[in-house]
Amino acid sequence: MSGDLQGALLDWFSRSGRDLPWRRTRDPWAILVSEFMLQQTQVDRVVERYTQFLARFPTPVALARSPVADVIALWSGLGYNRRAVNLHRAAVTIDVSHGGQVPDELGDLLDLPGVGPYTARAVRVFAFERADAVVDTNIGRVLARCHRRRLTPIEAQRTAESLVPRDRAWIWNQAMMELGALMCRTEPRCEECPLRGACEWFRSGCAGPDPAHRSASVSRPQSRFAGSDRQGRGRLLSGLRAGPVPMGSVPTVMGWPDDAERSLKVAATLVADGLARRNEAGFELP
Ligand code: SF4
């Protein structure tokens, strides 16, 4: 990509990038929390909860030494509650193995529960300003469309790395991510896009199938929520946040009053994920 196009993207980000709370800090713990919350949850919903969460758990040690039930309770409304348990486990590892400080080495970050290649690099770039490249669903979409083909994970990561200006990794990664979130969306706004001069798909007139479909890191449409096991899990967890749920009430709380077998089977997955505990009377938060 030419220097002019790189400059155009950075100029666009300076004008159009959103002012988000995690873009105002380099605190590694705050960045790690934001990345956990942003996995599969919309930005608007995370903004509401992020400040509240950090006020309650300002450091990894504060979180590690709190009951996991407190974290699950505060995670309410963010969905995908397993992330709350993993964040608690990650905080315990940071407390026990890293003296309470979020590590900056890629391998150490990847060893934290719930931290994959994207989140590990996001912490390095957005907290420590390392010259790494992140590939999330937004950047994955931009890269695939610019190359006009589906990319493998290795291709996407290497391409992203080849583009990062070494002295401006933080802003470059933010700008690429923002471009995918605001411009290169499912319905792209190519006429306004600062990268259209480098985009093969745009040059082709956006002909043929969308190259981002099934390309590396690009998320797929979620399956229906209504009537799903996820919905039942969410309902039981909401009930547990209010207090223990007796065994006989579990099917009703989960919305399946006539299907005790399914209710107990799905409730068992909450226990397996560390989100609930089963006792003789029923279920409770761990
Ligand atoms: S020109 Fe269109 S398809 Fe290409 S990167 Fe920009 S918004 Fe995406």
Supply the residue whose CA is at minimum distance from atom 2 of ligand 1.
Answer: 190
* CATH code (residue 49): 1.10.340.30
Domain assignment present for residue 121? The answer is yes
From 1, 141, 196, the mutation candidate for ligand 1 (largest count of ligand atoms within 8 A of CB) is 196
Show which of 83, 105, 126 is a domain's final residue. 126
Instruction: Work out whether the CA dihedral 194, 218, 156, 31 comes out positive or negative.
Output: positive
Percent of the chain surpassing pLDDT 90:
90
User: 283 has which bridge partners?
Assistant: 245, 278
Show which of 95, 126, 157 is a domain's final residue. 126
Give the dihedral of Cα atoms 67, 68, 74, 77; nearest 10 deg: -160
Q: How many CB atoms lie within 10 A of CB 223?
A: 7
Show which of 126, 149, 164 is a domain's final residue. 126
CB 198 within 8 A of CB 1: yes
Structure tokens, 131: 């010259």
> Domain residues for 49?
27-126
Residue-wise pLDDT tens digits, 111-120: 999 999 999 9
pLDDT(222) > 80: no
pLDDT at position 225 is 85
Phi, psi of 284 (to 5 degrees): -150, 165
Residue-wise pLDDT tens digits, 46-57: 998 999 999 999
CB 144 within 8 A of CB 215: yes
User: 277 has which bridge partners?
Assistant: 284
Strands of the chain (E only): list them.
245-246, 277-278, 282-284
Domain assignment present for residue 202? The answer is no
From 190, 191, 210, the mutation candidate for ligand 1 (largest count of ligand atoms within 8 A of CB) is 190
Domain assignment present for residue 40? The answer is yes
195-210: average pLDDT: 93
Instruction: Work out whether the CA dihedral 193, 117, 133, 96 comes out positive or negative.
Output: positive
Domain assignment present for residue 82? The answer is yes
Whether the CB of 50 sits within 6 Å of ligand 1: no
Domain assignment present for residue 35? The answer is yes
- Per-residue confidence at 223, pLDDT binned at 50, 70, 90? confident
Residue 212's contacts (CB-CB under 8 Å, 6 or more residues apart) are 140, 141, 144, 145, 150, 218
Domain assignment present for residue 196? The answer is no
Domain assignment present for residue 188? The answer is no
pLDDT at position 215 is 93
Q: Going by DSSP bridges, is the β-strand pair 277-278/245-246 parallel, antiparallel, or unpaired?
A: unpaired
The mean predicted confidence, pLDDT, of the chain is 95
**Rounded Cα distance, 132 and 170, in Å:** 9
Supply the residue whose CA is at minimum distance from atom 4 of ligand 1.
Answer: 199
Number of domains in the chain: 2
Domain assignment present for residue 76? The answer is yes
Q: How many CB atoms lie within 10 A of CB 180?
A: 22
Residue-wise pLDDT tens digits, 129-168: 999 999 999 999 999 999 999 999 999 999 999 999 999 9
CB 86 within 8 A of CB 118: no
Whether the CB of 202 sits within 6 Å of ligand 1: yes
